[in-house]
Amino acid sequence: MYLSYVGVRVTNLARSFDFYTKLFGLKEVARGDNSDIGGGVYVLLKDQDSGQKLELDWYPEKSQYGTPYSAGDGLDHIAFAVEDVTKTIEQLSAKGAGIPPALAEQPGLRKHKIQIAFVKDPDGNWIELYS
């Protein structure tokens, strides 16, 4: 058994696609439309370095899964390993990522030589950056 991918429900597929491909460099590896059987539209993205996959799932209102959206339902956070958290935060901020000032960096972890920061995706899901 192994983890194949993580699925994240999104409210605007194009916006989330741009966010994860342009800001995090993920590449599309599959796309499908299951709306004819009550599902929705999905795009499977892959990180070329780690091989990890992220599925973006969008559901139309008529879908049984098209319930009112609440940020983070069933998802705590997604984590990306980076070489330099501070530099990555600066780059993401310059590209428009939402970075809550209080969570921009966890300086108490420096004694462990770990840097952690958080940003939010367009639907309010937390993304952890660590090095």
| Residues 54-107: tens digit of each pLDDT | 999 998 988 877 888 887 676 767 888 888 888 888 888 888 877 765 444 444
Total tally of structural domains belonging to the chain: 2
pLDDT at 120: 84
Dihedrals φ, ψ of 109, to 5°?
-85, -10
**Domain match, 16 and 49 both:** yes
Residues 6+ apart with CB under 8 A from 92: 23, 99, 119, 129
In contact, 5 and 44? CB cutoff 8 Å: yes
**Domain match, 81 and 55 both:** no
Note the pTM of the prediction, 2 decimals. 0.74
**Domain match, 122 and 85 both:** yes
- Domain of residue 102: give its range: 74-131
- Please give the torsion angle defined by the CA atoms of residues 49, 29, 65 and 4, in that order, rounded to the nearest 10 degrees: -50
